[in-house]
Chain A
Amino acid sequence: MSETDAAIAEICERFGNDRTRLMDIVAAVQADRGGVDGSALDAIASAVGVPRVEVESLVTFYAFFSDRPKGGIVIRLCDDIIDEMFGAGKVERAFREALEIGIGETTPDGRITLERAPCIGLCDQAPAALINDVPVTYLSGDRAREMVAELKQHGDPRKLVHRLGDGNNAHPRVRSMVHNGIRKRGAVIFAEMERGAALRRALAMSPVEVIRDIKTSRLRGRGGAGFPTGMKWDFTRAAEADRKFVFCNADEGEPGTFKDRVILTECPDLLFEGMTIAGYAIGATEGIVYLRGEYAYLREFLEEVLEQRRKDGLLGKSLPGRPEAAFDIRIQMGAGAYICGEETALISSCEGLRGDPKNRPPFPAQRGYLGFPTCVNNVETLCCAARILEKGPGWFAELGSKGSPGTKLLSVSGDCSIPGVYEVPFGIRLDALLEMVGAPNAAAVQVGGPSGRLVGPDEFKRMICYDHLATGGSVMVFGPQRDLLHVVERFMDFFVEESCGYCTPCRVGNVLLRQKVADFRAGRGAASDFAWIEELGDTMKTASRCGLGQTSANPVLSSLQAFRDLYESRLGPDRGDAFLPAFDIRGALAESERLAGRASVVYTGGEGEG
C-alpha cells in the first residue's frame, strides 16, 4: 500500500469505514490532497467497500469536491446578482490579474485556485468571497490585490482577517470579519434567551403536549414551503421505529438568504434547544445539523456550544428531569450544493450519497435518514419552536398575521441603504419594509429568492406572509437602474448550475428557459415566445420531482407577469427578412468569416437579401 493510500485508509478508518459517512471522508481527502483523483477514488472505494464509481458519483456532484487537484488555497468568488451589482466583476478581474489565471484555474505553482460560487450568504456585505473556509467581505479590486499579495507571502487565509466582525463573529472559535447586520430585533428569534428554560418547560410536559403546543401556535416551516411544523412532528412521532432523527436544515442556499448564518452565530443555543425539544417530542435521540459548506467557519464554534450544552446537562445521555430521555446532536457538513436544502436531498447527502432528492412517498417522517423516521426543520423554525415552549403557544399565535403567526427573519440586500437581517412580524407590507430598509425608489423586489417571485411596484402594498408574498427570508431590492432581464438571466444561470439533473423537466427546462431569456436580452424575442415560456414553465412546475424544479421557472414566469412590457420591448423587430427573431445570421457566420478572412457577400449586415 502506498503512502497516500495509507493516509486515505486512515481517514476512512477514522469514520469507521462507514459508507454513509462518505461526505466526511471525501471532504477530508479533498482537504488533505487538494482533490480526489482516480487513485484516491480507488483507495476510498476499497476501504469503504463501495464501487469506485459510487465515490466518483459523489465527488463530481458537490461543488466543493473535485476529481482534479486544486490548490491548497481555493478562492471562491460569490457571483450572485447582488455581488455583481456591487462590483464583483472588478474584484474578479483583480484576482485574475494578480494571480495571472482564469476562473477554474490553478496557479502554475499549484497553490491557489480561483473559482466562482453561487450565493455564499453574504449579500449584505457584498462583494464577498470564501478563501478556503474564510469569508472575506466588502471586497474591492485593491483589496483583492492586497489579499493575493498576502496569500503569496504567508499562504494562510485566516491571516487575511484583520478586523473582526460584531457579536460572536469575534468569538475566538469564529474569528471572522463577517458582520451580523441585525437591523431589527423581534420577540421570537433575537430576544434575550435563558438557556435551558424552554427545554425544561418542554420536558415537564408529555411529548404529546409539546406537539399540541406547537400545533396550537400554528407554527409553519420557515424555509419557504410553510408546512405546519406541529403536523410534521406528529407524523414523525406516529411512525413506529427503533430510531428516529431530528434534522436541522442549515443549508440556506437560496440566493439572498443569510438569516440562518446570523442565527447560527448569535443564537445557537436557541436552535439546539429547539432541536432537543423536537427530539423529545417525536421520540428521537439523535439530531443532525446539516451545515452548508459555505458556513464551515462556524463549525468549531457550534461544536463548542454543543460541548457546553453536554457539560451543562442540556444534551447527552439524559435530559433535565428526564433521565430516560437522551438526545445528542452532530454536525454534518455540506459541500456546495443548493439542492441539499431540499429535505430529501439533504438526507441523501447525510447518507453519503449524491444530493439527489428522494421519491415521495415515503415522506421523511415515515422513512427518512437510513430508512428511519426523520423530521427535517429549518434553523429558524426550530428556534421558533423553542421560543413557543418558553413563552407559550398563545403568545406566539398573537404575533404576526392570521394565517402566518410569529415573526419572520428577512435577509435584505441589494439597492437599499440599510441591508441586513430584520426580524419583523408576519404580515408586514412590502412598502413598509422597503421604507424600513431605505429603499424608497425600488423598481422591483425579488421576494423569496430566485425560487420566489419578482414583484413590481403594483404589488408593493401586499403583505409578506404565507398567503401573499411568501419568502424563506430572501428579499432582494432592485433600483430603477437595474436591467431586470439580466437579473432573471442570472437567476436561471443559478438554477442550471444547481439542478441535480435527476429529472427531465428541471434538467432540460432550466437550460431552455435560460436560452430564451438570453434571446430576449439580445432583442430577439418572438411574440409566440410568451405562450412558449408559460407552457414550458407549467410543465416544469407540474412534472418536476422536487421543489427546485417546481419553482425554478419562477424568475421567468413571475417577471413575465410583473414586467411584461420589459419583454415586449425586446421583441425582435420585423425586418421583413423572414428570419425567426431568435435566428442570428451574423452570429452564425462570425466564426466562418474570421477563419476565411473575408466577409459574407450574401449577408452584409443589412439583411433581407433573397
Chain B
Amino acid sequence: MAAKPRVATASLAGCFGCHMSILDIDERIFELIELIEFDKSPINDLKEFTGRCAVGLVEGGCCNEENVRVLQLFRKHCDVLVSVGECAICGGIPAMRNAVPLKECLDEAYLKGPTVHNPAGHIPNDPDLPLLLDKVYPCHEVVKVDYHLQGCPPPADAIWQALVALLTGKPLELPYELIKYD
C-alpha cells in the first residue's frame, strides 16, 4: 500500500478554536485516518516535521517571530498550504492590536492594565521569548497561501470537505452555507 499523504497542522496567533473545529468532524475522523497520516501537529503532539506533507493547515496569524518561523516551515514542507479561520486570513482578534503602537500594547499588558500585578515593573524580555512583530500579519501576507477556509472557526464540514477535495485531487468548491466569515 502506498504511503498515505501526510497532513500537518499548527496554531499560530489563534485560539485553537479552529483545531477544535477540526475535531468536530466527529466520527469522520476514522475516515480521515484512513485517508491521511498526521505529521507535525498539536493533535499528535509531533513537534517537528518528519517529511514532506501534502497539506498544511494553519490556524492563526503571525504576531511574533516564532509564528513566522513556523509558517515558513509549513510553506517549505507542505505542497498545499491552507489558512484556516479568520485569524490566519485577516489577523482576527489578535490583529485588533494593530491599531495600537507596540510599546503601548506592552505597557498595557504588563504595566498599566487594570488587572496587572507587576511590582517589579519589568516587561518580560527573556531571550527565549519570541519577539513581537510590528503588527499581526495575515498568513498570506507572509508566505504564499493556496487556500483559505473562512470562519471563526470554519465549520467542521468545511474543513472536512476541503481536506477530502485536496487529498483526492478534486476542485475545492464549498457551498454558500459553508463560506462564512464569523
Contacts and interface: CB of A to CB of B under 8 A. Distances in A.
Interface stretch (A47-55, A148-156, A576-584): A576-584
A609 B141 contact: no
Interface stretch (B21-29, B70-78, B172-180): B70-78
B143 to A, nearest CB: 5
A595 interface: yes
B75 A600 contact: no
B76 A578 contact: yes
Given A595-B106, A609-B72, A610-B73, A579 B143 contact: yes
20 contacts: A578-B75, A579-B142, A579-B143, A580-B142, A580-B143, A583-B141, A583-B142, A583-B143, A588-B68, A588-B133, A588-B134, A589-B133, A589-B134, A591-B134, A595-B123, A602-B65, A602-B68, A610-B69, A610-B70, A610-B73
A585 interface: yes
Interface stretch (B36-44, B85-93, B124-132, B161-169): B124-132
A596 B69 contact: no
A593 B125 CA distance: 10
A577 B65 contact: no
Interface residues of A, number: 24
Nearest to A593: B131
A376 B65 CA distance: 58
Given A578-B76, A583-B141, A588-B137, 5 more contacts: A579-B143, A580-B142, A589-B133, A598-B125, A610-B73
- With most chain A CB atoms within 10 A of its CB, the pick from B72, B76, B143 is B72
Majority DSSP secondary structure for residues of A touching B = loop
A577 to B, nearest CB: 7
Nearest to A526: B144
Contacts of A596: 125, 131
A578 B133 contact: no
A480 interface: no
**Closest 5 CB pairs between A and B?**
A610-B72, A578-B75, A592-B131, A588-B133, A610-B73
B116 interface: no
A592 B134 contact: yes
Contacts of A361: none
A590 interface: yes
B72 A600 contact: no
A601 interface: yes
Contacts of B133: 588-589, 592
A578 B125 contact: no
Contacts of A588: 68, 133-135, 137
Contacts of B144: 578, 580
B101 to A, nearest CB: 8
A578 B143 contact: yes
A610 B78 CA distance: 13
Contacts of B103: 591, 595
A597 B103 CA distance: 13
Given A578-B76, A609-B69, A589 B131 contact: yes
A587 B134 CA distance: 8
A566 to B, nearest CB: 25
Contacts of B123: 595
Nearest to A576: B76
Contacts of A591: 102-103, 134
Interface string A599-610: 011110000011
A243 B5 CA distance: 78
Contacts of B68: 585, 588, 602-603
Interface in A546-599: 577-580, 582-583, 585, 587-593, 595-598
A577 B65 CA distance: 14
Interface in B101-152: 102-103, 106, 123, 125, 127, 130-135, 137, 141-144
B69 A602 contact: yes
- With most chain B CB atoms within 10 A of its CB, the pick from A588, A590, A609 is A588
Contacts of B73: 610
Interface in B31-72: 65-66, 68-70, 72
Contacts of A593: 131
Nearest to B62: A588
Nearest to B66: A602
A591 B69 CA distance: 18
A582 B135 CA distance: 15
A304 B123 CA distance: 69
Nearest to A582: B141
B138 to A, nearest CB: 11
Nearest to B75: A578
A589 B135 CA distance: 9
A571 to B, nearest CB: 15
A603 B123 CA distance: 22
Contacts of A609: 69, 72
Contacts of B130: 602
Contact of B127 (A590, A598, A603): A598
B172 to A, nearest CB: 20
Interface string A89-102: 00000000000000
Contacts of A602: 65-66, 68-69, 130
A598 B131 CA distance: 9
Interface in A248-302: none
Contacts of A597: 125
A584 to B, nearest CB: 10
A590 B144 CA distance: 23
- With most chain B CB atoms within 10 A of its CB, the pick from A577, A589, A598 is A589
Nearest to B65: A602
Contacts of A578: 72, 75-76, 143-144
Nearest to B130: A602
Nearest to B129: A596
Interface string A533-552: 00000000000000000000
Contacts of B75: 578
Given A583-B142, A610-B72, A610-B76, A590 B134 contact: yes
Nearest to B140: A580
A250 B17 CA distance: 60
B63 to A, nearest CB: 10
